[in-house]
Amino acid sequence: MMVSTADSTVPMARRRRSSGAASWTFSIAAVIALLALLPLGFVLWATVETGPATAYGLVFRPRVGELLLNTVFLIAFTVPICSVLAVGLAFLTERSDMPGRRFWAWLCITPLAVPAFVHSYAWIGLWPGLHGLQAGVAIAVVAYFPFLYLPISAAFRLLDPALEDQAASLGLSPLAVFLRVVLPQLRLALCGGALLVGLHLLAEYGLFAMIRFDTFTTAIVEQFQSTYNGVAAHMLALVLVLCCFVLLGLEAMARGRRRYARLGSGVARQSSIVRLGKWRYPVLLLPATMAAFALGIPAYTLGRWLIAGGADIWRMDEIGLALVQTLTICLVGGFFTVLAALPIAWLSVRHANRSSRLVESCYYLASAMPGVVVALALVTVTVRVALPLYQTLATITLAYVIMFLPRALVSLRTSIAQVPVELEQAAASLGRSPLRALLATTVRLAAPGAAAGMALSSLGILNELTATQMLAPNGTRTLAMAFWALSSEIDYAGAAPYAVLMVVFSLPMTWLLHHQSKKIAGR
């Protein structure tokens, strides 16, 4: 059978255009990855520039040892407590007949709407003498356990109960079934959530500064703001980055290579609900206590200061300006974060290979850098190389892109994977360029995922404090910056309206997190 030359060249031309589009997209993604790795390159460059003798003296000194011990103890106590709390709450809300479990599931996520430094502000409002390691662990647990609860609750919804039935048929007790069958299947969720909590503990500034508990981040900010001791701050940043790498390595080791996937024909059935019997109502004490500490204390403290301050604390001109600037930064930062994530999200779905996976891993590695390290890198680079960009919207937007890129990437990749590639091919066959075909089909249909990624990125930007303080243009006063300035002056009543507004604008985005986690199991 004869095939015309025209007919045979059409698919070849289409493949060439597709390959060319992939090459251009990979080039763009690689450039963004290099920009994202700028903080890591800065830390290495600062170490080399300092010199081995000076670097050794600044790293191996008692102050660094004290900060390292604080960090180790903080993570060693906080992560296990968060893990136990999250597993218990996830089991009760997903697998038991606890009354009102859907309501309690929502309350388990809402602490994310309260910035960590607002949690600290609320607790200090009740107990002014609260400080030290114990205070840091207690507040960090109520602020960060949702990062473990979200993946663990999603994992509970995806478990195949047939494995549990088989274990029970072999004579194992319910507790043994949970420890030997259910808990190992939660390993990935536990490791991922624990890594998130650990990285947040390393990066957090406001929470620990308010309770006077020294960490690497608080020490770096103190060096930068008080004496601008660049060399000492750079070496502290080096140790902080090494701590991040240690956490990444420990998470990879704990995750391992074991699989707990269901194999065979058919589909997994819905998990059965565990009847709690006489414990059905007493177990309510766990989520109720959690809600009291994570939500009740902030609500009570904010309400008390709002009443004490009266109408005078609502300075609408200042609050309105802070609100407008906050929303502007959130929208701009969220938009460019999604835009930067689009190339690698498309490549990871349409042209997955070793190169695209390497670029994607650079994105995640860069996001592990604490905000203070990202800010310190951009401050140094702009001051020394590109002074006109120092404290501009472009620089702070780049910082947000580096820090929150994975949030947008995960949402975009999921949405693009649900769009058939044939739609792009059909658009290209009508004569549209690869870019126009991509915009007309995949980008348009993946818009909900892009919106979710932008919302999640904006949530991080809304509550971000350290990088914003160091990089924001002169005259910028976001809600977080205004809150921190007033609370640092012990004007707790004046800071309350800014905290309330941050919580109010964060609630819809935490609901989106809750909604997305439910979609994982099709609920």
pLDDT greater at residue 229 or residue 412: 412
The two structure tokens encoding residue 73:
């103890």
pLDDT digits (tens, 9 = 90+) for 425-444: 666 666 666 656 666 666 67
- Residue 439: CB atoms within 10 A of its CB come to 13
pLDDT reported for residue 265: 44
Phi and psi at residue 274, to the nearest 5°: -80, 125
Helix (H) or strand (E) holding 435: helix 434-438
pLDDT band (50, 70, 90) for residue 271? low
pLDDT reported for residue 62: 92
pLDDT reported for residue 434: 60
- As a whole-number percent, the residues of the chain with pLDDT over 90 amount to 33
The two structure tokens encoding residue 331:
């929208």
pLDDT band (50, 70, 90) for residue 77? very high
With a CB cutoff of 8 Å and minimum separation 6, the contacts of 93 are 101, 102, 104, 105, 108, 153, 287
With a CB cutoff of 8 Å and minimum separation 6, the contacts of 493 are 305, 306, 308, 309, 313
CATH number of 36-261+284-519: 1.10.3720.10
Domain ranges of the chain: 36-261+284-519
